[in-house]
Structure formats: structure tokens, C-alpha cells
Chain A
Amino acid sequence: MFLSVWMVYPTVRTVLRSLYSDKGDRFVWLSNYKRLFTSDTLFTAIKNNALWVLIIPAAVTAVGLVFAVLVERVRWAVAFKVAVFMPLAISLFAVGVIWRIMYQQDPDRGAINAALAGARGFVSHDGVLSRARPSSDALEGSTKRGFTLKQPVRAGGVAVLGLTAIRTPEIPEDAADAVRPEPLQGGIAGVVWRDFKAGGGTPGRVERGELGIPGATVELRNADGKKVDSTETKPDGTFAFDKVADGQYRVSVGSGTFAEPFRGVNWLGDRLITPAIMFAYIWVTAGFAMVIIGAGLASIPRDVLEAARTDGASEWQTFRRVTVPLLAPVLTVVFVTQIIGVLKIFDLVLAIAPGSSTDDAATLAYVMWQRSFSGQNLFGLGAAISTFLLVLFIPFLIINVKRFRAEARG
């Protein structure tokens, strides 16, 4: 009785409703379904749902299997299991908030981008002079290409590369007062410095109180534009190419010096939003898969594994040929459960995707809510989306019913 009021009746109603217009006053046949497959956002939702189904069940099952196998080998398994299992008890909404904090774009706020920035710091030294300009028209170029001295230089010449529009905090701490270097016999000397001091000064001249720029990359190119040498500046901004063959050279400050600082990956932007939500979802469900698979693992008789090992199977072979096949039913359960869960994914999309990228993150369950209940009141379309979802569930529904009929008979 109860079930028929709240479930059977509404289900039938929804299917019928999907054939009516949004206001419910007109019978429109299948045009809601036509909208479902032709509108851009809805199409994205279908595509996203397909991605979810293709990626997540496999990923979650794999992660769960790896965790279950690994955790079997340590004594503190319970602690690990609790840590991984915990997210399952938290509401998906709170999980969304948690990951939105993690995903914030500014590396000073979002932990993931902070970690990436840290990792980048190990690999390459970031230039910070991202807004630098030449101090005079002796230089040409841009921060993207680097700044090159217009006037070619020969051996014995001195290259002065003045830059400006550099904020004081951007200058490395070891910077010393800039010095105009002495010419070098058979080589090229020069200086890269901040051609600016309080109260003015003459552009293009190294003056007292102006700071050298340490650590800038200086490149030397021959007349053909080929890079022949490069060096880094000292604390006072000076540099030197000791031995230079005859000919004219162009001296430039390499673009690497002006590299944009790491501004953080835009996880919640339109391109990465779905993978970002998926990752959070794996974080939640890995514990579920681990526990179910772990229980399956525990029920494998020890002597079967022992026998395989005694027969000379390596650990990997035992895993591949004995453990996994014996686990197949459990893995299937996890896999199917995940498909069912993923088809309905809603909370995480709503909680993680910021307004600007909801259209790109949308899933069927999400657009169903959005079109019908977030003020748009498109009930005909919403009913069509729901019915479409139900259709996707029908194969699993039939499998379930068949399984229980078989059980009831046997």
C-alpha cells in the first residue's frame, strides 16, 4: 500500500508526465525526449554520465582491490581501514565542501595547488619578474620572448640591460648594488639590473643605489640568431662570457627569467571540473570497495593460496591467477553497485561545481533537479530525464528480479 502511493504511483505518473508539456497542460508526445537529446547542456550531462560509468566503477574497484590486498599485509590494518572508510559516513555535501577547499585555485589556499607549486619549486626555479619592462628603448622584446639588446655587441664590449617595473619584493634577497662591469679582453661582460631608484635617475645608466638582478639567465646569440652560450647573473647583476669568437652578438635576458609564477591549476574550471569531482568521488567510495573486497579476500581459503605458492607460483601469479578469479563475484558486486551509484550522482556535482562550471559538470540527476526544481520548473523535461534514468536502470532491475526468482525456485 505504502509503496504504491510513494513509489509505484509516482513512477507511473512520471513516465506519463514526461509526455506532457512543462506546465502539464498539453500532450506533447516525445518532444521532451527530443529536447533531452538535442540541447547542449543535456547532451553534456549524458556524455558526463557515460564518462562516469566508464571510468568510476573500474577505478573504484581497482583502487579497492589494491588497498584490500596491501592492507592485508600490515598489522595496523584497522587504522588504515578506518581512515579510508571514514569519508563514506560523511555526507556527500560535506565532502563537496571539503574538496572545494582542497581545489581552490590560489596555491596559497588550495592544498592541491600548494602541493603542485611545491613540487614545481623543486623542478624549476620560477622567475618572478613577470611584469618587467625594458628601462629604455635600447632593449626590445617581451617577457614571453625575453628582452634583447638592439645594438649588437662584439668581444671586448659591455652589455647593459636595464629593466624596470620590478616590485621590490620580487628582487631576490641576495641582490647587491649593481655595478657596471669593466670590459673583458676577448669576452663580453655586462649587467642586468633594476634601472630604477627612488627620486629618479637616468634610464640606461647604472647608478648608485640601483640593485643588480641575480639569477637572471643571459643568452648570447650569434649573427644567425643561434644561441651560442648562456650564463646566470651574480648578486650585483653582472655576468661575463669569457671567450667569445669574432663577430657580432646579440645579448638577451632569457624568457625563463620572466616566467609567470605558478597561479594554480583551475580544477573547478570548465575543463577539469568533471575529473575533479570524479576524484573526490573515488576518495569517498574507495573505502566501500576496500571493505567489501577485503571481506571476499578473507574468505579465500589460505590453503588454496599456499598450494599455489608451493607449486612455485610467484606472488604476482598467485594474485593474478588465483586471488582475482576467486574474487570475481565480489568484484562484480562492487562494480555493479558503483554503476548504480554513479548513474544517480548528484550531491557532489552540486556541492563542488561552482556556478560557472555547473553546465560542464552536469550529470543526468543534476540536470533533472536543475530543470525542474531550481526555479526553472521544467517538469515535462524533468520527467523525461527521470524516465531516461529509469530506463538505464532497467537492465539491473531485471537482473535482480531474475536472480531472486532463480533463488526462490532453487
Chain B
Amino acid sequence: MATAALERPQPAVLDEGAAARVGRFLRRAPVHVVLVLLGLFWLIPTTGLFITSLLSASDAAQGGWWNFFAEPSSWTLENYRNMFDNEGIVDALLITAQVTLGSAILPILVASLAAYALAWIDFPGRDWLFLGVVGLLLVPIQMALIPIFSLYNRFDLFDTVPGLILFHTAFALPFAIFLLRNFFAGIPKDLMEAARIDGASELRLFFKVVLPLGLPAIASLAIFQVLFVWNDLLIGLVLAQNNQPIAPHLASQLRQFGSNLDVLAPASFFSAVIPLIVFASFQRYFVQGLLAGSVK
């Protein structure tokens, strides 16, 4: 690695202070340059989508988006205005929001109860049940698509928001239970026993002690779920048709890629903005969750 050589101790400089600082800076300069270039490289593609989304169809047809990078005067919000007039896209966004909300709340509700039971209530077969959950962690979504597809068709859940929420919830549960159980199990035993001795019911214990203490884990879980469900393509593509969330809805536009960038680019960018905001506001929890559960 190039930088390793650069880090070797330099010959002693008599004049410590300014000279040393300059020397250190120069030695580090390559690292800075490399990182700046890499950082730019990581930003360019998204910038490209953003600028493309701001160009009128005729401008976009003229040449690459980078030609317009320095010309904010040629940018227009027209595409976004059209997007909000486009009923299909607006509906898809609303459906995405509903599904995301439901699929964040429901699994957390179910999983925190289940996790509490698995962590603090003794019942026969508890450990086996938890092992079963761990086993299900890695079952790919594909395993359920075909049977659920026919099941949904029979029970009128196909192409509905509840259908999507239920599916997302099911596949979120193993991970949610797993994460929360481990987190709840970390609550000091003394605390729990003290509360039990004081006569708190299990339900009270759950709401007054376990849930508040588990909040960080629940928060990171919620963020994960929001990002995952909002960004889902496969489930929406298979289990919905006329009421698809945004990503599957836009996927049908890909066939005419190129000629419809003025529709595709703003909608893609807009659909990315929401998770980006969520990510930016709760970055800490997100990273914590990532660290806690990088098994999924």
C-alpha cells in the first residue's frame, strides 16, 4: 500500500513546530487526495441522477447531465411538478408510505412481545422456539413467493396494502425477535426480579421496564424496516399489480429507458429522498443496528 511507505518516521527536523507540521501535512497529502477523489466518485452517480431529474426533456436529449452541472439556470422543477400530477406515481408513493408504516409498526409490536416472552418467561420448549427463529433468519424471500401468491389470490389479499404489510411483517419477524430478545436478555436480572417482587404484572413489567430500556434497539429496528420496506422491489412486484409501491411501479417504466428519463429520474430521486432523510436523521441508530445484527 502506497501510504504505508509514507508513514515511515521522517529524519528529525531541527526546527520543530511549523516545519514539522508542514512535513506531516505533506506526508498525509496523498491520503487526503485519494480520499477526496474516492468521496467525489461516490457522490457523482447520485448527483447525476439529481441533475438529470432537473433537466427538461429537450435539454436532457442534448447531452450529458454534466454539461448542465454549472448551469443552474437551465434547471427546472417542471419534471417534479409533472410527477405530482401523475396519478400513478402519487398513488404508488402513498401506497409505499402506508405499507412502510404498517410494516414498521406491526413486526415491532409482535416481535417485542415475543422477544419478551423468549427472554424472561419460562415455558416449555422456549429454547427450541428461539432456535427455530434463528433458523428462519436466513430463509430467502423466494421460498414464500409462490405459495403466498396463490394463497393471496384465494383470500383476496393479492394487490392490497394489508397483504403487503403481512408479508413484510412475516419476513421481518425472525430478525426482529432475534435482535430484541438478545437486547432484552441483557437487562439486569435484579431489576426484573425487584419489579416482580413489587408485584408488577408481566404486562406492566413489559410496558414499564422492558420497553423503555429496549428503545434504542427498537429504534434501530424501525429504521431498518422503514428503509427495507420503502426500498423493496421484489415483494411489491410479485404480490401487487395495480396497487404497487413506488419501486415496482417504476420498474415497468424501465422498458423505455432513455426516452422517459424526465419521468423516471425525478421519481427515482424522490423515492430515494425519503430513505435518505430517515437515514440522515437517525444515522446513529442505523449504524448501531447494523453493528448489532449483521447476520441478516
Task: Give Cα A288–Cα B224 distance, bound, in whole angstroms.
Answer: 13
CB <8 Å contact, B146 and A382: yes
Contacts A108-B64, A344-B140 hold; do A292 and B294 have CB atoms under 8 A apart? yes
Question: Which of A6, A291, A379 has a CB less than 8 Å from the CB of B171?
Answer: A6
Q: A17 and B140: CB pair below 8 A?
A: no
Q: Does B13 contact A (CB under 8 A)?
A: no
Q: How far is the CA of A365 from the CA of B136 in the complex (A)?
A: 18
Which one, B42, B66, B137, B261, contacts A111 given CB within 8 A?
B66
B209 touches A (CB below 8 Å): no
Interface CB pairs A-B, < 8 A, 21: A3-B136, A10-B146, A11-B139, A13-B146, A13-B147, A89-B279, A90-B231, A94-B49, A104-B258, A108-B63, A111-B48, A288-B290, A315-B7, A333-B294, A334-B294, A355-B255, A372-B145, A390-B140, A400-B134, A400-B295, A401-B134
Give Cα A92 to B234, complex, Å: 11
B139 surroundings in chain A (CB, below 8 A): 7, 11, 390, 393, 397
Q: How far is the CB of B65 from chain A (nearest CB, A)?
A: 7
Give 9 nearest A-B pairs by CB, closest first: A6-B170, A91-B231, A89-B279, A316-B4, A10-B144, A13-B147, A10-B147, A315-B7, A386-B142
**A365-B142 contact, Cβ under 8 Å, with A109-B64, A400-B134:** yes
Q: Are B275 and A372 in contact (CB under 8 A)?
A: no
How many chain-A residues does the 8 Å CB contact rule pick out? 88
The answer, among A87, A347, A386, for a CB contact under 8 Å with B42, is: A87
Q: Does A58 contact B (CB under 8 A)?
A: no
Q: Report Cα–Cα, A109/B104, bound state, in Å.
A: 39
For the complex, give the distance between the alpha carbons of A315 and B7 in Å: 7
Measured between beta carbons, the chain A residues less than 8 angstroms from B34 are: 70
Is A101 in contact with B49, judged by CB distance below 8 angstroms?
yes
Chain A interface (Cβ within 8 Å of chain B)?
2-3, 5-11, 13-14, 17, 66-67, 70-71, 73-74, 79-80, 82-84, 86-94, 97-102, 104, 108-111, 114, 283, 286-288, 291-292, 295, 314-316, 319, 333-334, 337, 340, 343-344, 346-347, 350-351, 354-355, 365, 368-369, 372-373, 379, 382-383, 385-387, 389-390, 393, 396-397, 400-401, 404-405, 408
- B137–A344 contact, CB under 8 A? no
Name the one of B46, B137, B166 contacting A98, with C-beta atoms under 8 angstroms. Answer: B46
- State the majority secondary structure of interface residues on B: helix
| Contact call A291/B28, Cβ cutoff below 8 A | no
Once the chains bind, are A94 and B38 in contact (CB under 8 Å)? no
Identify the interface centre among A2, A91, A110: most chain B CB within 10 Å of its CB.
Answer: A91
Q: Are B145 and A373 in contact (CB under 8 A)?
A: yes
For A314, what are the chain B residues with a Cβ–Cβ distance below 8 Å?
A: 4, 8
Task: Point out the residues of chain A lying under 8 angstroms from B171, CB to CB.
Answer: 6-7
A288-B290, A354-B257 known; A111-B268 Cβ under 8 A: no
| A397 to chain B: closest residue by CB | B138
Question: B46 near A86 (CB under 8 angstroms)?
Answer: yes
Whether B204 sits at the interface, judged by CB under 8 Å, is no
Cα(A337)–Cα(B290), bound, Å: 11
- Chain B residue with Cβ nearest A96: B254
